[in-house]
Amino acid sequence: MTVIITAPELAEALAGEAPPVLLDVRWQLSLAKAAGAPPFDGRAEHAAGHIPGAVFVDLDRELAGAPGGHGRHPLPDLAEFGAAMRRAGVSASRPVVVYDGGQGWAAARAWWMLRWTGHPDVRVLDGGLPSWTGELATGAAVPDAGDFVPAPDAAGLLDADGAAELARTGVLLDARAGERYRGEVEPVDRVGGHIPGAVSAPTTENVGPDGRFLPAVELKDRFKALGVSSDAPVGVYCGSGVSGAHEVLALAVAGIPAALYVGSWSEWSADPSRPVAVGADPQ
């Protein structure tokens, strides 16, 4: 099954007899308080213009729990997540397409959450809203309620201990920018660096200048060069389980299954007892 969809393919699907549920997950990591700028408001962006029929989903409130000891974007309460998806019109028997403002990270988090909790048919709009050339709608869509009930798959999820073990026995990819991995800067979390044994694999290198994924064969070659093979399990982490979901999606485009450490660096680094590696060397 494909995990991404192009804008022309989406337009054709929306015009068909059984259109997919369409979710708008526009979001940005907010450093606005430090920068003195107003915070990004995805709901307002959605109301100002969205793909017709799309329903807004709030990443911070519906795709994640409250920040705390398990990271900045921990797993949401699954009952609340299921209720949010049903309000958005999500049903197990109907395909879902998710998109964001073009970065792809938030859409990938929605894709991962739905796939991890058992939805059989979820795709991400490659390139996000900027790739859409059709008309836009304003206001807020009011969908019919869906029937989706989450049934999570433990195999696709890592906790801190599982991530540490995978760094020793398999391949653990760090999806953050290289300078954060090396510990040169850390704009968000308590300390910079990486999980010992993790390999630097910035998710930004999985896409081209237009924000669309590289061809599957190029992604497969990239991950092979990073040590990914069919012989060892693969996991991904990032800052808080958002850009890491995008790396899991890139791996899926390449045909490679991977687990996500949702707590990621924001959970790992918050515990002073956990080891921190710095520099370009994984160890």
Q: Is 238 a catalytic residue?
A: yes
Evaluated on CA atoms 187, 188, 191, 192, the torsion sign reads negative
Query: Rounded CA gap, 84 and 22, in Å?
Result: 14
Query: Rounded CA gap, 90 and 156, in Å?
Result: 21
Across the strands, what pairs with 213?
Answer: 207
Instruction: Out of 238, 250, 252, 254, pick the active-site residue.
Output: 238
Coarse DSSP helix, strand, coil percentages of the chain, rounded to the nearest 5 percent? 35, 15, 50
Query: Rounded CA gap, 93 and 150, in Å?
Result: 13
Name every residue whose Cβ is closer than 8 Å to that of residue 77 and which is 6 or more positions away in sequence. Answer: 65
| Number of C-beta neighbours around residue 271 at 10 A | 11
Phi (first) and psi of residue 260, to 5 degrees = -115, 130
Residues classed as catalytic: 238
